[in-house]
Structure 1
């Protein structure tokens, strides 16, 4: 299926080099994307994407002390908001660019968005992904018709290969966030928010390169506060806004890989720098607990990056006190749901541990019959659920007649975990929490 893109709005645009990466027009550095751009982009997006649900949540409203609404963009086509920006970018390519094809790089969501948009428009697409990219994301990208090339350890490696291929073959490189058309496409989420919750007061948005949060900021009036939420281990937005230009920071490993970007885009920064935007960071524990709570309380499976905005709302209330109007709803954007089940299991386990519901004990026992049964009986009497039991019979600190027993135990919370630990110790088992 193909369609013609609406005419570009007469607003300041950007200049491009052959690879398709945006460079701000020096005559208009502050406003590369306006509300008018977002509304024009919507003409392209609306016939294709889902108008994702807006879900109210009493559970999260109680936790946040405000009326909380969840914008369920993880239920979008391809599992994230990324398809919006990809559709706009590809729809506005010149005929000769479409003929030569496109190339992109991503660990998952952008890959699927570009592949889906390319199939809709009849454009040949190649997507470079890291060698260890999650198999479900690779298979999904291929199922949309793109050719996937795996290699390298990082997304940055994939981006370098994609740019090289664009240069060598004349393909257009589709940047995941640093292009006005991409930002405008992502901003259509903001227009939907405004229609679904007309009295919205604050919107919390996961932020990596900044395409989504900048697009939403451009789409919304200044009366609506916007909060960009980053993972603590990948937090480049605050220094970049302070410096007035993109600043590259060191990023650590984070479960929120979808927003683990070392340097924001120049185009998103130009939008953010001219508008009122608060930047907040959240920890790994905050994110994992929120992913777990979303599954348990809202029945929504959301990837860690997609839950960052809500995590800030329920764990950083003090920092956000001056941007939350308790008389107006707060919207948290759940930006994506593409998570490998294996990773999700680890995140749930991490979240349970962070919430005090997962206890790992090591007890040293004399290696004779009956003692293990007695230990397990004490745990059972405490009302805790033993998940795994393992023995360590040799190691530092163990006598020839001793064995260490590792127990993984599920409890009902921190107080119950502490009670279980004390019961085990009172029964004479030298339990150490690990």
Structure 2
């Protein structure tokens, strides 16, 4: 694993930082629309019904040939799953060109600011996520100013990275609450109240479940925690027990924190029309949409890094049994990290297609009566394993 050894000037540092930020944003803006397409297709297959098959539009102009091509793809077994792929382009164009409507009695300033808060909180978290624990590659030496400089697998390595992630991610609820309040409508207000109570409730077991890897690794740095927990270095073999329990608690809380089924009480379209974003349209609604899927990627990244082996092949510290000298599977890889994120995103879609929504009292019961006591017991177990053995 190569390490940073080249001193950089302030200008070089700023340029490399901008390049890394742009690279992360481009990947996110590719994954989010593809995830919306995959959601339609996965739910369609699981529920034995058609997902996206063709692009909406007439049979003239550009949509006609595209529809005929996609319909023909259905006759090819391996390509049938890709039918309707351009639909996410249509979704993006629809959001950009749709009329931006603001209710007459809404607080216009707060109404506009709320989705911006949500999307900034969701995207800002990626500053501390380590996609690879070292240098991924070096910039071509022929390039001016930044030639030969390392491209790190993370934007920044903060020694309290996990604390930064949890703190900034929790700001996203302000966008939901403020947007619903500013709409001056009863359905969004009910959705925001549900969301605020839900997120506050489930942040407690979520944080307690993440304290297990913190306790076992002895660090708050995203990169250091990921490497220590993945390789199993200085990790007691019994640590797999609290990590395994912590993973399922964390993932459950992750569903609640992202307002996904079966915890989508903030939207609950069968009860509240669309919940907190009922009055939003155009790109303001698009920002809330981006924030939700970006938060799904964040939840998947943390689960991958701290429980599923991160950049290494095996989860829960089992990588210790594979020699580091073994080619491909013995060392870290960005593709391992990326593949695990995709698997967890699939679980998000799978759960949406199979489980019904909780009642609100059931949702609160799960968080306070079951998950919090379980995480406290699990944290106590991790402390015993860490300090008594």
Query: Structure 2 length normalisation: TM-score?
Result: 0.25
Structure number with the bigger relative contact order (C-alpha 8 A, sep ≥ 6) is 2
Structure with greater Cα Rg: 1
Query: Would you tell me which structure has more helix in proportion to its own residues?
Result: 2
Query: Would you tell me which structure has more strand in proportion to its own residues?
Result: 1
